[in-house]
Amino acid sequence: MQKKGCPEEEIFSFLSFARDKDRKYDKVLSSMCTIPHPVAVRAHNMFIESNLGDPGLFAGTAELESLLVREIGELMHIPDACGYATSGGTESNIQALRIAGKQARRKMPNVVVPESVHFSFEKACDILSYELRTVPCDGNQKIDTSVLEDYIDKNTVCITGIAGSTEYGVVDPIEHLSDICSDREIFLHIDAAFGGFVLPFLKNAPKFDFELDGVSSISVDPHKMGMSTIPCGCLIARDPSYFKSTEVETPYLTVQKECTLLGTRPGGPVAGALAVLRYLGRSGFEEIVGKCMNNNRRLIDGMADLGYEVAVQPDVNVASFKCENSPKGWIVSRTREGHMRTVCMPHITEDIIDEFLKDVSEINV
Ligand code: 0PR
């Protein structure tokens, strides 16, 4: 640390210098985050000092959190959802597995997931000392139900399905998983970190939420397709007693118990998420998601015209292509299988897609 303070202008010119090195989102086709909605930013800033880790001090913000959980719950077909705002999909997934383990209480717990699962499950199982059992995917990059049962045994504390996979944007056969979990009384966690703010706004989307009896908990991230500020995730669950199982006593806080993983928790993103949900409403989200899906289709069709087929048909606005080279100046990513992967987030417009396709067409020239 410098001995004496530095003039504010100097600090901000230094910060601007760093900010200029950050990528602008316009040519970024790899991210699952986007430019937050201005209403979310305004609400976030209004609650900048709010700490949900001590909800008695920030009773108003805590109310907003309850409302956010309730609104997301309604979207997921559960009117009296319980849950809380996390710092994103990773935290939600860790907590879901923690809760699942506490319900089943096995000495050597294992968790059965598709191999397409996000790497946050690896972290969760490492922290919780669970065995992670990865089931191969079928030709559509969905969990292969013909072999799934071989991976389940009496120590299976949780099965996970993905609603909008990170790499291929597909939804696992969750109705099937729900039936298995209902029959065997196994906790079913759905990772809808990405798809949770896409699928409810699509016509004919596959079922993935609490409408299915076997679903126990869902991760949904307002900071991805929810147009909110970072970090805002949400873990919602069917049964309020689930959150009792992770409670610890917090004698010197304004509340006596806390079920969350983090202690200090930002209130700003929660206010941002709720504000943008209310501001846009269902019709606003349908419009945004509709545009993203149309752009995804435009990209898939355009790539096919150039001879690059999509690897599998996605259910959400993610696409992966059999295309070995990436165009210069663009940020795309690669799946574990080497496919070029793109995400049509709200910052990606028709014009951007056309410009991208033009640059792809010139790759080998
Ligand atoms: N579950 C799914 C299905 C996800 O896609 C992700 C993140 C997570 C869980 C974890 O969420 P958090 O990162 O919020 O903890 N998927 C993207 C990924 O890891 C996140 C991302 C976002 C990556 C923006 C890059 C980026 O620029 O690839």
Tell me the average pLDDT across 88-93.
98
The dihedral region occupied by 307, where left means phi > 0, alpha psi between -120 and 50, and beta the remainder, is left
φ/ψ region of 329 (left if φ > 0, alpha if ψ in -120 to 50, else beta) reads left
Q: Has residue 140 got a pLDDT over 80?
A: yes
**Rounded distance from Cα 197 to ligand 1 centre (Å):** 14
58 Cα to the center of ligand 1, angstroms: 29
Tell me: pLDDT of 94 over 80.
yes
Phi-psi region of 227 (alpha: psi -120 to 50; beta: other; left: phi over 0): left
The C-alpha atoms of residue 114 and residue 118 are separated, in whole angstroms, by: 9
Residue 253's pLDDT is: 84
The CA 32 to ligand 1 mean position distance, Å, reads 6
Residue closest by Cα to atom 17 of ligand 1: 32
Domains of the chain plus CATH, in order, are 11-37+281-361 (3.90.1150.10), 38-277 (3.40.640.10)
Please report the pLDDT score of residue 235 as a whole number: 98
Cα distance between residue 157 and residue 172, in whole Å: 19
Ligand 1 atom closest to 93 (CA): 9
Output the ligand 1 site: residues, CB below 6 A.
31-33, 88-90, 93, 118, 120, 162, 166, 191, 193-194, 221, 233
Dihedral in degrees, nearest 10, Cα atoms 165, 274, 240, 186: -10
28 C-alpha to center of ligand 1: Å?
15
Q: Work out the percent of the chain whose per-residue pLDDT is above 90.
A: 98
**How high is the pLDDT of residue 365?**
57
262-279 confidence digits (pLDDT tens): 999 999 999 999 999 999
The reported pLDDT for the residue numbered 252 is: 86
Q: Kindly report the protein residue whose alpha carbon is nearest to atom 9 of ligand 1.
A: 89
Q: How confident is the model at residue 254 (pLDDT cuts 50, 70, 90)?
A: confident
* 89 CA → ligand 1 middle, Å: 7
pLDDT at 222: 98
Q: What is the mean pLDDT of the chain?
A: 97
Q: How confident is the model at residue 295, as a pLDDT?
A: 98
DSSP 32: S
Instruction: State which of 29, 120, 165 you would mutate to test the pocket of ligand 1, scoring each by most atoms of that ligand within 8 A of its C-beta.
Output: 120
Contact (CB, 8 A) for 291 and 319: no
- Checking if the pLDDT of 242 tops 60, the result is yes
User: Which pLDDT band holds residue 114 (cuts at 50, 70, 90)?
Assistant: very high
Asked whether the predicted pLDDT for residue 73 surpasses 70, the reply is yes
Residue 163: phi, psi to the nearest 5?
-110, 85
Mean pLDDT over 203-223 rounds to 98
Span 27-68, pLDDT tens digits: 999 999 999 999 999 999 999 999 999 999 999 999 999 999
Is pLDDT at 204 greater than 70 in this prediction? yes
34: CA distance to ligand 1 center in Å?
12
Distances (CA, A) of 19 to 1, 93, 327, 352: 21, 31, 25, 23
Q: How confident is the model at residue 207 (pLDDT cuts 50, 70, 90)?
A: very high
Asked whether the predicted pLDDT for residue 364 surpasses 60, the reply is: yes
Q: What is the pTM of this model?
A: 0.97
Distance, in Å, from the CA atom of 292 to the CA atom of 193, rounded to the nearest integer, reads 17
Q: Which of 118, 123, 316, 334 should be mutated for ligand 1, with most atoms under 8 A from CB?
A: 118
Average pLDDT over residues 201-217: 97
Ligand 1: centre distance to CA 268 (Å)? 20
Q: Whose CA is nearest to atom 14 of ligand 1?
A: 88
Distance 306 CA to ligand 1 centre (A): 29
Ligand 1 pocket test: pick from 32, 142, 143, 227 the residue with the most ligand atoms within 8 Å of its Cβ.
Answer: 32
Tell me, rounded to whole angstroms, the distance of Cα 148 from its chain centroid: 24
Percent of the chain residues past pLDDT 70, beyond the cut:
99
In the chain, the DSSP E strands lie at 82-86, 110-114, 131-135, 156-162, 187-192, 215-220, 233-237, 248-249, 257-258, 318-321, 333-334, 340-343
Ligand 1 geometric centre to CA of 41 (Å): 20
Question: Which burial class, exposed, middle or buried, applies to 249 when counting CB atoms under 10 A from its CB (0-12, 13-18, 19+)?
Answer: exposed
Angle value at C-alpha 318, between 316 and 323, nearest 5 degrees: 145
Give the pLDDT of residue 313. Answer: 98
Which residue's alpha carbon is at the smallest distance from atom 22 of ligand 1? Answer: 32
